[in-house]
Structure 1
Amino acid sequence: MTSSIESVVYLGLAALLWGATNPFIKKGSEGLQYVKASSPCRQLAKEVVFLVTTLKYIIPFVINQCGSVLYFLALQSADLSLAVPVSNSLTFVFTAISGWFLGEEKSDRKTVSAGGHATIVGASHGNCAAVRRGPPRSAAV
């Protein structure tokens, strides 16, 4: 696997991990609005303790951070102008799909489907163009 293909795979996996865990993180943080304290510092401390001690939050959060590690690895060899839109748009698609499986409020199916298809076509086009271009040439000193 070349570094370009490897970075594309890492970007896709990062987007999958981010998108698949976003709805679970949202569900795991339910109840945070009821945590109250007398000062802003104590409020922050209580909220952090609440989140860290809630397994329904912390497990998806750790998996989500594994996606961030993959993203970091991908950025070492990926074209930044390709990496950011590909990962963000695919994250949106994967978040919509996993939210749909969890029974979250559904968006218009045609709109999400059209957006998903356009994202996949655009990301594929960008990936193919980047792979054909090859690695950037270094400037001669």
Structure 2
Amino acid sequence: MTLTLESILLLVLVAIFWGATNPFMKKGAVGIEEVKAKSGFMQLLQEIKFLFTNYKYMGPFLINQCGSVLYYFTLQTTDLSLAVPVANSLTFLCTAITGKILGESKIHKNTYIGIFLILCGTTLCCFDKMNAIQAESGL
């Protein structure tokens, strides 16, 4: 497997697709707790119907799933030990930032510290993997 700048950028794009859509899906799902049915199975069907007929939920959900498809294809050329932490950690970062932009809640200072640490850790993982690949190829 090789690591390229393109792979890293694709993983960042995946994280943006996943993270930026999470707060929108949360907003789109508002009201699902009002859905009631007589049995557990009918409750499940009613909730699925509620979500699938709600464009405020389905729009972000489809974008989120595009991120999953992109992630699947990116895994073909990217080392799994790098792809998973980069995509997942940056997803949390994108979710926090998007939530802040949407006014969900005030970001606590610990969240800012976490964002900084995520960026540092992700950068170190990428540099380490790139250095390991360069050492293997004798560059």
Does residue 67 (structure 1) correspond to residue 99 (structure 2)? The answer is no
Does residue 126 (structure 1) correspond to residue 130 (structure 2)? The answer is no
Which residue number corresponds to residue 52 of structure 2? Answer: 52
* Number of residue-to-residue matches in the alignment: 134
Which residue number corresponds to residue 77 of structure 2? Answer: 77
Amino acid at match of 2:133: G
What are the ranges of 5 or more consecutive residues in structure 2 without an aligned counterpart? none
Contact 2:15 2:67 in 1 (8 A): yes
- TM-score w.r.t. the length of structure 2 is 0.89
Q: Distance in 2 between matches of 1:102 and 1:4?
A: 33
Give the deviation of 1:5 after TM superposition: 2.3
Identity of aligned residues (%): 49
Contact 1:51 1:58 in 2 (8 A): yes
Cα deviation, 1:29-80, whole Å, max 9, x if unaligned, reads: 0000010111111111111110010000000000000111111112112121
Contact 2:25 2:60 in 1 (8 A): yes
Q: Distance in 1 between matches of 2:74 and 2:130?
A: 14
What are the ranges of 5 or more consecutive residues in structure 1 without an aligned counterpart? none
Aligned residue runs from structure 1 range 18-33, under 5 A: 18-33=18-33
Contact 2:82 2:125 in 1 (8 A): yes
Q: Distance in 2 between matches of 1:12 and 1:69?
A: 14
CA RMSD of aligned residues (A): 1.6
